[in-house]
Amino acid sequence: MSRPAPLINRPRAQDVLGRAGVAALVLSDPVNIYYATGFWPQTVAMGQAGAAFAVVPADAALPVTLISSQFIHYLFDLDTMPAGAPLEVRLFTAPEGLEGSDEIRAAPPIFLKPTTGGTPDPMDAISQNATRGALAIHPAYPDVVAALRDTLAAFPGTLGIDSFIAQGLFGDAFAWRPADPLLRAIRMVKTPAEIVLARHAARNNAQAARAAIESIRPGDTYQDLRSAFFAETGRRGGVPLFVSTDSMAMRMRDGVIRAGRSFQIDAVSHYGFYHGDYGRTVFVGEPDPVILRMVEAAVCANDAIAAQLRPGLRFSDVRAIGHDALKAAGFDQQIACVAHSVGLFHTDEAFRGGALHFAKDDHIIEANMVLSIDCPVLHLDAAGNVHLEDLWLVTDDGCEPLNERDSPYIQIPA
């Protein structure tokens, strides 16, 4: 059985929401519900907007509330939340009118029925009992609106929302503000449960990318490489998103991997919705000296940043460390040396000034951040191009890589 638990960093949420004057977050987006509760609301992801909500109080001492249908709770085999758990569950069934009255009540719970003449499923009985246990703690509501209204009664004031659903339901009963900037600020510092997922995602993503590359030979296409990465990701239990290869012109106009060519890859997938992000250079046969020199420059910048990455730096310091190392070593290659937060999204960080649109901010680096150190070489040669990117967990006094760093490039036979 499943007993989901919030992934969200509640102490950080309390700080962020407190400074914003927000009493609670009311979340209806499936990724946000998952982050808040640890439960993936499949019906919402299927397009049934408003079929589930998560309510996250600013007060970290109060539990997060998951609102979902009784049948989904039963069907997905969720366990009863014990008293004092960080997550509480409130379920709704369907409205049922009282005869001769306008009053409505919740309909009885719905369960799958045993086949006539068949044998009752003992596992199903366990799921039914768990759902009945949840209903004993919080009796069923007649619909999702009643459940949400009752939950929000404890949070007068300003609420953060990720859609217009709650505002459309309750109008001027509350003050509203966008939740997305608040969530992005909270998500930058990971909880232990998130770090477990991030570590697994980074390792799986890098291994899938390497396995895909090593399966390719000259004459294969960049589409073959993409298909191989998608297959290798799936074998490891991940979900592929994209693998960028070579330059767009080479990929689209020629499309064939040829001996003597070198090309960059940037591979992204997720595991448990947490993202891996891995960049390397692929040599098809013997490395071209010009391209190898670019790889050496990327390694110089990357290693210098890895040696100094720790809490207290700013994102701009990362860039300066990389550029200073290149200058000191006599490299004239231009390398971006970008830090960005990675998590439930490839770029999972707060935008400058709390904006709703992407605007890169110069964040202070903190312990338990998961950062990409992104070192693409900003040059293109007839022989190819170069990329180097790893994921790092910032620790209390330094950092540790979340993916293998055994080689800055991958060489396949010509």
Predicted confidence (pLDDT) per residue in 345-364, tens digit:
999 999 999 999 999 999 99
Predicted confidence (pLDDT) per residue in 320-334, tens digit:
999 999 999 999 999
Question: What pLDDT sits at residue 408?
Answer: 94
Which position has the higher pLDDT, 184 or 102? Answer: 184
Strand partners for 263: 282
Task: Indicate the fold that domain 10-187 takes in CATH.
Answer: Creatine Amidinohydrolase; Chain A, domain 1 (3.40.350)
Question: What pLDDT sits at residue 1?
Answer: 57
Predicted confidence (pLDDT) per residue in 254-278, tens digit:
999 999 999 999 999 999 999 999 9
DSSP 285-342: SSPPHHHHHHHHHHHHHHHHHHHH--TT-BHHHHHHHHHHHHHHHT----B--EEEE-
Boundaries of every domain in the chain: 10-187, 192-412
Question: What pLDDT sits at residue 173?
Answer: 94
Predicted confidence (pLDDT) per residue in 25-79, tens digit:
999 999 999 999 999 999 999 999 999 999 999 999 999 999 999 999 999 999 9
Model pTM above 0.75: yes
Spatial separation of the C-alpha atoms in residues 123 and 127, rounded to whole Å: 7
Predicted confidence (pLDDT) per residue in 3-16, tens digit:
899 999 999 999 99
- Do residues 26 and 166 touch, judged by C-beta distance below 8 A? yes
The average confidence (pLDDT) of the chain is 95
Q: Which of 400, 394, 340 is nearest to 367 (CA)?
A: 394
Question: Which residue type occupies 188?
Answer: M
Q: Does residue 99 have a pLDDT over 80?
A: no
**Residue 110, Cα to own-chain centre: how many angstroms?**
33
Spatial separation of the C-alpha atoms in residues 365 and 194, rounded to whole Å: 17
Burial 121-146 (b: 16+ CB within 10 A, else e): eeeeeebeebbeebbeebebbbbbbb
Q: Classify 392 in phi/psi space as left (phi over 0), alpha (psi -120 to 50) or beta.
A: beta
Question: What pLDDT sits at residue 128?
Answer: 95
Task: Indicate the fold that domain 192-412 takes in CATH.
Answer: Creatine Amidinohydrolase (3.90.230)
Question: What pLDDT sits at residue 101?
Answer: 58
Question: What pLDDT sits at residue 28?
Answer: 98
Mean pLDDT of 197-226: 97
Burial class (CB in 10 A: 0-12, 13-18, 19+), 326: buried
Mean pLDDT of 382-403: 96
Mean pLDDT of 290-303: 97
Question: What pLDDT sits at residue 100?
Answer: 57
Question: What pLDDT sits at residue 120?
Answer: 87
